[in-house]
Amino acid sequence: MKFKILIPIVGLLTPLMAHAQDIKAPFELVPQIAVTGRGEIKVSPDRATIQISVQTRGSTAAAAAAENANKQQAVLAALRALGLGNDQLSTINYNVYPEQRYEQGKEPVIVAYNVTNTILAEVRKLNQVGSAIDAALSHGANMITSLQFYASNTEAARRTAIGTAIEKARLDADAAARAARGTLGTLLEINIGAYSPPPPRPMMMAVRKDMAQADTPINAGEETLIVEVSTRWRFIPGQ
């Protein structure tokens, strides 16, 4: 009976021993150079957003709101006449608040009500930004609280920046290899860092209707798009 038990045990150990013989030695580390490259490229904004406010004052909240509604409707009609669609015009703030007079030892007294209605206009043609501001101000708006420019499509520029970043990384890696008295080998790995488009570039404004108005000049300028890549290269030591 002992002999019969040993046979299957030997049968199990034989493939395990053969498998152990097939295990290869640990992976041999290759000398490497790790370098980070940075690519920058200028992009021109092609769109803008404008915050346009109508602010009115009345003896009652209803009176101030009614006047505000009439003026804001005129502003919206003027912007639509320039070609801005409803998807480019949205209300982002509506505020009604009392204006109070304070006297020492007395309860505050409401003397008027102020209503502010703010819309966000997305202008998709930069040559219309000045016209949109002028049209809004001439039809009842009395505050432009924000103007921001941004680039809507940066994919081609991003890929160009990636190429620039990798080329800079290669040049740095080659310089490091020569300084270490060796040569640069093949590229082993590339990691492209997380990317987000350049944020909108703000031009803060606070324009009131009673200011002298001429055709509003607008200069969008440029934005800088940045991409970083990390690379690893094979290093060939000198003899």
Kindly state whether residue 1 falls inside one of the protein's structural domains.
Answer: no
Kindly report each contact of residues 122-125 with a partner whose C-beta sits within 8 Å and lies 24 or more positions away, as own/partner.
Answer: 122/47, 122/48, 122/49, 122/84, 122/88, 122/89, 123/47, 123/48, 123/49, 123/50, 123/84, 123/88, 124/46, 124/47, 124/88, 124/152, 125/83
pLDDT at res. 7: 36
Kindly state whether residue 2 falls inside one of the protein's structural domains.
Answer: no
Distances in Å between the Cα of 149 and the Cα atoms of 34, 86, 162 are: 37, 20, 24
Q: Are 73 and 40 within one domain? A: no
Kindly state whether residue 214 falls inside one of the protein's structural domains.
Answer: no
pLDDT at res. 105: 83
Structural domain total, the chain: 2
Kindly state whether residue 160 falls inside one of the protein's structural domains.
Answer: yes
| 3-state SS assignment for residue 8 | helix
CATH label of the domain that carries residue 225: 3.30.110.170
pLDDT tens, 164-173? Answer: 999 999 999 9
Kindly state whether residue 23 falls inside one of the protein's structural domains.
Answer: no
pLDDT at res. 211: 44
pLDDT tens, 194-224? Answer: 776 666 666 545 555 444 445 666 777 788 8
* Domain, as residue range, for 92: 47-150
pLDDT at res. 86: 94
pLDDT tens, 116-153? Answer: 999 999 999 999 999 999 999 999 999 999 999 988 88
Structure tokens belonging to residue 102: 């304070």
Structure tokens belonging to residue 131: 């016209």
Kindly state whether residue 192 falls inside one of the protein's structural domains.
Answer: yes
Return mean pLDDT, the chain: 84
